[in-house]
Amino acid sequence: MRMLVTGGAGFIGSHYVRGVLNDAWGGPVPERVRVLDKLTYAGSLTNLDAVRDDPRLEFIEGDICDRKLVDRLIADTEVVVHLAAESHVDRSISGAADFVMTNVVGTQTLLDSALQHGVERFVHVSTDEVYGSIEQGSWDEQQPLQPNSPYSASKAASDLLARAYHRTHGLPVCITRCSNNYGPHQFPEKVIPLFVTNLIQGATVPLYGEGRNVRDWLHVDDHCRAVHLVVAGGRPGETYNIGGGTELSNAELTSLLLEVCGAGWDRVEHVTDRLGHDLRYSVDSTKISHELGFRPAIDFTDGLAATVRWYHEHRDWWEPLKHRLGV
């Protein structure tokens, strides 16, 4: 199997690449993995250090909007795992153009090329945020898309394009929609690594409003295992929700992080809430459980403790990133 992974130097993408090359989850093992990544602020080749010497890995720095480059790579590709995306909600609120270009135009470029060259499978990795906010219960895959941020709107647009390429052209596309990921190598502007690294540095942590917003948490390894199950056996044209089964308000998450880091609530700074902040996300993962046998394997308490340890032990990885960002 010859595979192209877009965004493979980012948080989730690099974890998928490391896992698939090390046969971490069983299933199909690629004979070659090409990683296409633009190496924007959130992507780093250091995320691939563990597999850098694997002869099956080829890294290409480039933009998924570059049709000539994409055509060259996909012409010799059987499976595309599309993870490249602009993904930070706050950044999308202050400037949406990059999100539209990468998430919508970039996805359309990949789909066009995949159609032209007859790829055998195209897995489009998306987010639960496309569904909007839900007060009670959980979304299944039939829930209409009602995104509320420029980020989630751009992802919803890319999801609909992927679906359309299957329905119109028969392109063998599967879509996955995951809940909030956490784990090692996550860029320190996201809430868990931001809070952990701030606490390690002796700084305060910024909690939006009263911290009532609820998210479901999924370890990155569980997410990547689920994606690989879809690569191996997902039905073309289908969407699969991937949830972690651990719903926490931001205040509850903050309390856990303070406890693990040995800090108190005096280190919390309440800040003005995000514009259009969705109150609660929750996905129903029954479909991927029944069809592909997926269930989260990493207990959140254990996964969070291991993640905090990783950031304690890898200051050389995240301190330069925070210095560059000024956070």
Domain edges within the chain: 2-181+220-242, 183-215+246-276+299-320
Per-residue confidence in pLDDT tens, the chain, 327 aa: 999 999 999 999 999 999 999 999 998 899 999 999 999 888 899 999 999 999 999 999 999 999 999 999 999 999 999 999 987 777 877 778 989 999 999 999 999 999 999 999 999 999 999 999 999 999 999 999 999 999 999 999 999 999 999 999 999 999 999 999 999 999 998 999 999 999 999 999 999 999 999 999 999 999 999 999 999 999 999 999 999 999 999 999 999 999 999 999 999 999 987 787 888 999 999 999 999 999 999 999 999 999 999 999 999 999 998 887 776
Degrees (nearest 5) of the Cα angle 325, 11, 197? 50
DSSP string, 233-293: HPPTT-EEEE--S-EEEHHHHHHHHHHHHT--GGGEEEEPPPTT---B--B--HHHHHHH-
Task: Tell me which amino acid residue 146 is.
Answer: Q
Q: How far apart are CA 187 and CA 318, in angstroms?
A: 8
* Residue 263: closest CA among 180, 196, 174, 208: 196
What's the rounded Cα separation, in Å, for the pair 272 and 270?
7
CB-based contact 20:33 (threshold 8 Å): yes
- Fold matches, 2-181+220-242 and 183-215+246-276+299-320: no
pTM, entire model: 0.95
| Catalytic positions | 128-129, 151
Please check whether residue 240 is in contact with residue 162, taking contact to mean a CB–CB distance below 8 angstroms: no
**Closest by CA position to 22, among listed 48, 46, 40, 2:** 48
Q: Which CATH number fits domain 2-181+220-242: 2.70.70.10, 3.30.70.270, 3.40.50.720, 3.30.390.30?
A: 3.40.50.720
CATH number listed for the domain at residues 183-215+246-276+299-320: 3.90.25.10
